């Protein structure tokens, strides 16, 4: 595995304007006082001008000991606060509390609160983190400790079907923006204690919780350690989406090809973990990262494993054909019609020439005009509201294409080539990989317009050399072709039946381990013997 290179920038001296921030950080590290008024003052100083912070004070026990509850309105479950916390504390009116505040804290935690997840904390920083994550903090007079009571409960999107990865046959559930909901969906798929979830908190301001999930004994320990190392090196002020993490942990940042796959389907993430990959969950987004990733996984769909192997193989062959069309068809049309007309049959050459009669622009200008127009319509259809976006994409393409042909600005052949190219690009399952092909298509067009077929061949050779050199967490990006592995090729273009896939991929799963075998080899169901009936 190649070592991960940390790109360092020259540090500049911090300005004096950051001094209040440093003072606030020091304030959050200080220990709690045994005086409730001092703790309240510290919290009010840290959360100054925060109108959504709730302070609920009351007195409990026969001694009327002051108690303070602190929580944020909107991200805390109000029903839990009222029914399980306030009601339990108010029922302590006849209870005898001791003079020591620490013993009272333990008594409240162990005897009166009817909530399972309660943690004892002792610093201002822990109070801040607890409140900002939707918990209730209980402070008691005379105690230098506080209780963090788990009461997270804010409105979120329910589990629904994935929008970006639709299937005809397969599960309909998709991840949501809630991290705990997403990990629960994964636990429903993989019911084993060897499924490990490790927690990281990223972002100095957002404090976003990130979990990595892997199957202990199946995932390569070197890959797991590398994922932990790269995530722990992230030092930014905010993490709002998993794309932030993706750009910071990928091997080669200056390449068009995505090296980390992402999905919002629990079944796809579970399948990746079961074959030895590591998943990265980020709170606040339904898209989960999966590493390491090979290029050909971007051309596979979850539905390939739910249909019979013959159907899945046929669809994959069509996808590879679409990939070549989306990348090379406009460039091939320009090269042949401009530099290599002798390669075309005479009737086809006459037809293409007659179609271009009256068009004042060369073929390269026609293709670029239509390609840019098609990309603009596609982008407009994505950004506009759904009812309007689809109409703009379809009607705009028909109207502009027909008007351009009628005005003799482009030839009908160019419109057909660009339309076929656009349709082929929609056949690539991964949007990020299809985006890379869309950009490379323009590069191939420019090479074909200057050097013809030789330019296209040169571009393909450079692209292949680049793909072979890429790595995703130490795994060759172009595997199983380079390096070639016949056993891993059983789930490449051809998808063999399940009873023939006895082992997990060798380049992903842990080496020299019995867990690499997922089932007995060639466990094919046999029909009953007629002689035994």
The per-residue pLDDT for range 52-91, each reduced to its tens digit, is: 899 998 888 878 888 899 999 888 888 888 888 888 888 8
In terms of C-beta density within 10 A (0-12 exposed, 13-18 middle, 19 or more buried), how is residue 27 classed?
middle
Q: Residues with Cβ < 8 Å from 331, sequence gap 6 or more? A: 441, 444, 445, 447, 448, 456
Question: How many CB atoms are located within 10 Å of the residue 208 CB?
Answer: 22
Q: Read off the pLDDT band of 387 (50, 70, 90).
A: low
Strand partners, 282: 210
Q: Which of 411, 443, 461 is the last residue of a domain?
A: 461
Q: Read off the pLDDT band of 244 (50, 70, 90).
A: very high
Q: Which of 130, 149, 168 is the last residue of a domain?
A: 149
> How high is the mean pLDDT of the chain?
85
In this prediction, residue 18 carries a pLDDT of 44
Asked if residue 393 has pLDDT above 60, the reply is: yes
In this prediction, residue 260 carries a pLDDT of 94
Both 103 and 202 in one domain: the answer is no
Return the H-helix or E-strand segment holding 230: helix 221-232
Buried (b) or exposed (e) across 385-405, using 16+ Cβ within 10 A? eeeebeebbeebbeebbeebb
- Per residue in 396-446, pLDDT (tens digit) is 766 777 788 888 888 888 888 998 998 899 889 999 999 999 999 999 999
Both 447 and 513 in one domain: the answer is no
Both 334 and 357 in one domain: the answer is yes
In this prediction, residue 16 carries a pLDDT of 47
SS3 at position 44 = helix
Both 337 and 446 in one domain: the answer is yes
Asked if residue 339 has pLDDT above 50, the reply is: yes
Strand partners, 60: 65
| Domain contains 60 | yes
Strand partners, 210: 200, 282
**Mean pLDDT for the stretch of residues 243-269:** 93
- Per residue in 93-137, pLDDT (tens digit) is 767 776 666 778 888 888 888 788 888 898 888 899 899 888 999
Both 54 and 136 in one domain: the answer is yes
Q: Which two tokens stand for residue 214?
A: 């892997």
Both 140 and 184 in one domain: the answer is no
**Mean pLDDT for the stretch of residues 18-43:** 73
| Domain contains 70 | yes
| Domain contains 381 | yes
Range of the domain at 512: 156-293+496-526
Q: Which of 461, 481, 505 is the last residue of a domain?
A: 461
Both 269 and 336 in one domain: the answer is no
| Domain contains 415 | yes
| Domain contains 52 | yes
Both 326 and 220 in one domain: the answer is no
Both 357 and 342 in one domain: the answer is yes
Number of domains forming the structure of the chain = 3
| Domain contains 259 | yes
In this prediction, residue 351 carries a pLDDT of 87
| Domain contains 1 | no
pTM for this one?
0.85
Both 438 and 323 in one domain: the answer is yes
Strand partners, 53: 72
Both 115 and 243 in one domain: the answer is no
| Domain contains 474 | no
Both 144 and 200 in one domain: the answer is no
In this prediction, residue 63 carries a pLDDT of 80
Asked if residue 163 has pLDDT above 70, the reply is: yes
For residue 159, give the nearest of 184, 196, 134, 195 by alpha carbon. Answer: 184
In terms of C-beta density within 10 A (0-12 exposed, 13-18 middle, 19 or more buried), how is residue 286 classed?
buried
């Amino acid at each position: 595995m190649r070592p991960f290179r940390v790109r360092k920038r020259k540090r500049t001296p911090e300005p004096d304007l950051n001094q209040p921030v440093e003072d606030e950080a020091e304030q959050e590290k200080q220990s709690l006082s045994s005086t409730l008024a001092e703790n309240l003052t510290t919290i009010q100083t840290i959360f100054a001008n925060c109108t959504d912070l709730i302070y609920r004070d009351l007195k409990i026990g026969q001694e009327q000991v002051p108690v303070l509850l602190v929580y944020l309105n909107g991200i805390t479950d109000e029903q839990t606060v009222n029914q399980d916390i306030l009601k339990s504390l108010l029922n302590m009116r006849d209870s005898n509390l001791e003079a020591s505040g620490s013993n009272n804290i333990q008594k409240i935690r162990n005897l009166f609160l009817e909530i399972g997840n309660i943690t004892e904390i002792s610093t201002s920083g822990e109070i801040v983190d607890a409140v900002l994550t939707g918990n209730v903090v209980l402070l008691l007079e005379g105690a230098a400790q506080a209780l963090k009571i788990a009461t997270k409960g804010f409105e979120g999107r329910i589990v629904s079907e994935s929008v970006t990865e639709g299937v005809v046959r397969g599960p309909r559930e998709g991840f949501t923006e809630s991290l705990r909901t997403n990990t629960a969906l994964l636990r429903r798929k993989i019911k084993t204690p060897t499924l490990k979830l490790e927690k990281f908190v990223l972002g100095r301001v957002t404090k976003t919780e990130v979990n990595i999930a892997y199957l202990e004994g199946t995932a390569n320990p070197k890959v797991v350690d590398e994922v932990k190392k790269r995530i722990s090196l992230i030092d930014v002020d905010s993490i709002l989406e998993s794309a932030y993490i993706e750009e910071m942990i990928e091997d080669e940042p200056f390449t068009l090809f995505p090296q980390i796959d992402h999905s919002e389907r629990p079944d796809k993430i579970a399948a990746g973990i079961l074959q030895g990959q590591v998943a990265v969950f980020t709170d606040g987004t339904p898209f989960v990262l999966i590493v390491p990733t090979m290029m050909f996984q971007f051309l596979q769909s979850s539905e390939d494993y739910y249909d019979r192997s013959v159907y899945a193989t046929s669809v994959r062959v069509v996808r590879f054909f679409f990939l070549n069309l989306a990348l090379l068809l406009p460039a091939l049309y320009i090269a042949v019609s401009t530099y290599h007309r002798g390669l075309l049959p005479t009737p086809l050459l006459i037809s293409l020439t007659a179609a271009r009669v009256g068009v004042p622009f060369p073929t390269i200008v026609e293709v670029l005009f239509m390609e840019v127009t098609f990309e603009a319509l596609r982008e407009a259809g994505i950004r506009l509201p759904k009812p309007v976006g689809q109409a703009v994409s379809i009607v705009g393409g028909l109207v502009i294409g027909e008007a351009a042909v009628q005005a003799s600005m482009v030839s009908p052949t160019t419109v057909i080539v660009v339309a076929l190219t656009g349709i082929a690009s929609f056949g690539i399952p991964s949007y990020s990989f299809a985006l890379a092909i869309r950009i490379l298509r323009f590069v191939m067009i420019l090479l074909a317009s200057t050097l013809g077929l030789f330019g296209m061949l040169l571009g393909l050779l450079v692209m292949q050399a680049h793909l072979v050199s890429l790595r995703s967490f130490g795994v060759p990006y172009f595997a199983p072709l380079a390096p070639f592995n016949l056993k891993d090729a059983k789930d490449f273009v051809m998808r063999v039946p399940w009873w023939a896939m006895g082992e997990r991929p060798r380049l992903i799963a842990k080496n020299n381990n019995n867990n690499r075998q997922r089932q007995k080899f060639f466990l094919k169901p046999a029909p009953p013997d007629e002689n035994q009936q």
